[in-house]
Chains A and B, each alone.
Chain A
Amino acid sequence: MFVYEKQLQYPVKIKNTNPALAKIIITQYGGPDGELGASLRYLSQRFSMPLPELKATLTDIGTEELNHLEMIGSIVYQLTRNLSEEEIKKAGFDAYFVDHTTGVYPAAANGTPFNAFAVAVKGDPITDLHESLAAEQKARTTYDNILRFCDDPDVIDPIRFLRAREVVHYQRFGENLRLLTDKLDSKNFYAFNPSFDRQCFKKK
């Protein structure tokens, strides 16, 4: 169950609008390595996890990603306030504008709508944790790429916060993978699916 708190995880207050920047940052809302995919991936992967620590981590990180989705939505919203048609045209924001006006829609930077392929769930915890580890690094690289095009400290500050969280989550997923393999036969971790073939856990 989820309870909403009327506060962003980290403040977003952007004084100057910049639709050109909104056009690329939207990719972390609904792009291939964005926060929507991240939250749904972890909140879906958790169901088939065989250890309580893994269920807890995926629940809590999946929930945190919803906070990050809200932050990215806020950044896009604030970057596109009070625009004139001329500013929209000049920034190349017109292609987005005709379909969504200044609403926040989950799409990649190139305009591709959110694709559920971003929510990878294999039902094997070793496979899914590797997916999650890779996802954190892909999101980190995307934030690094976004930062190359940012010169507004009001935008740089929350983007840096989000980038740092990817690194922390990567650390936690690494610990998840170690907690899991510590309970398996070290001669061959990959002979079984630990969610499906329960006999693969070491006898106590």
Chain B
Amino acid sequence: MNEREMLLKKIGTYKFAIVDIDIFLDTHPGDSEMLALRNRYQDEVRPLVEKYEAQYGPLTKHENQKNTWAWVKDPWPWDMEA
């Protein structure tokens, strides 16, 4: 696994943890401990996403700083190189 793949995996791990917390919170909306954990993970993943997008291209279409449309760039998630 190269550096890009390692960073992407780390981001994916955080995002998945957040998704799992989300569906827990859907049935336990008053659970402050899980809410705090969700906020912590959000804070921790944000700089990783910024670092990834600056180096390798966008994960969502929110950001496009460059003067070409970086969204179209390979790899796409189903590619072996992703």
A residues near B8, Cβ cutoff 8 Å: 7
A92–chain B nearest beta-carbon distance, Å:
24
With A5-B59, A53-B26 given, can you name 6 additional A-B contacts, CB distance below 8 Å?
Answer: A3-B61, A4-B61, A6-B58, A6-B59, A6-B76, A168-B23
Judge whether B23 and A70 touch: CB under 8 Å: no
**With A7-B8, A12-B78 in contact, do A53 and B29 touch (Cβ < 8 Å)?**
yes
CB-CB under 8 A from A168, the residues of chain B are 20, 23
In the complex, what residues of A have CB within 8 A of residue B82's CB?
7-8, 11, 13
* B68 interface residue (CB < 8 Å to A): no
B37 contacts the other chain (CB 8 A): no
Q: Which of B16, B22, B59, B60 contacts A10 (CB 8 A)?
A: B16
B26/A6 in contact, CB under 8 A: no
A78: CB under 8 A from chain B? yes
> For window 61-82 of chain B, which residues contact chain A by CB distance below 8 Å?
61, 71, 76-78, 80, 82
Q: Which residues of B contact A4 (CB under 8 A)?
A: 60-61
Residues of chain A touching chain B, judged by Cβ–Cβ distance below 8 Å, are 3-14, 53, 56-57, 60-61, 64, 70, 73-74, 77-78, 81, 168-169, 172, 175-176, 179
Is B11 touching A73 in the complex (CB atoms < 8 A)? no
B-to-A contact residues, CB < 8 Å: 8-9, 11-12, 15-16, 19-20, 22-24, 26-29, 58-61, 71, 76-78, 80, 82
A194, B11: Cα distance in complex, Å: 41
Min CB–CB distance A5 → chain B (angstroms): 6
For A178, the closest partner residue in chain B by CB is B27
Q: Do B24 and A77 touch (CB < 8 A)?
A: no
Asked if A7 and B27 make an inter-chain contact with CB atoms under 8 angstroms apart, the answer reads no
